[in-house]
Amino acid sequence: MSKTRILFVCLGNICRSPIAEGVFSHMAAQEGLAVQFAIDSAATGDWHTGEPPDARAQAAAALRGIDISRQRARPIRQTDFETFDHILAMDRANRSDLLRMAPQGLDYKVKLFLSFAPVLGVEEVPDPYFGGPEGFEHVLDLVEAASRELLTAVTTQSA
């Protein structure tokens, strides 16, 4: 069986998308499903290329038992649109940037991450960069809930 390839994308790849990569990977591993997935994250901007996740993102993830310290930020590449099955944007701005970059015929792969969890009643994972630590807790809450739904959706699909 071929792996399901998922790319999480935000503006800087130092807050939201590294958290999503860490949470989803952790959840898949806990379910014994890690081998079924190739998970990565990327930025629509290139300001933070090569940097580890923001210290506040690392701390909030660590409080929930998830180590994201080894991740490094990278910008999205054109080849990502071929490589990945699902390219999941954290907010609408990320989604429009991705849709502008997507090669013709591959834009169907680009979706809002929270579209997998309509029960949450929100479409976007808000940018916590300019706020306090509670913003990161909120990101973790949204990402955990959406990751659970995404894991169910993609495992059911490939069953």
The catalytic site residues sit at 10, 16, 127
Instruction: Candidates 10, 27, 88, 102: give the one binding ligand 4NP (CB under 6 A).
Output: 10
Q: Does 68 bind ligand 4NP (CB under 6 A)?
A: no
H/E segment holding residue 42: strand 37-43
- Footprint on residues 120-159 left by ligand 4NP (CB under 6 A): 127, 129
- Footprint on residues 14-33 left by ligand 4NP (CB under 6 A): 14-16
The amino acid occupying position 63 is: L
CB 140 within 8 A of CB 47: no
H/E segment holding residue 60: helix 55-63
Least separation in angstroms between residue 85's CB and ligand 4NP is 22
Q: Does 42 bind ligand 4NP (CB under 6 A)?
A: no
Where b means 16+ CB within 10 Å and e means fewer, 138-156 reads bbbebbbbbbebbbeebee
Q: Would you tell me which residues interact with ligand 4NP (CB under 6 A)?
A: 10-16, 47, 127, 129
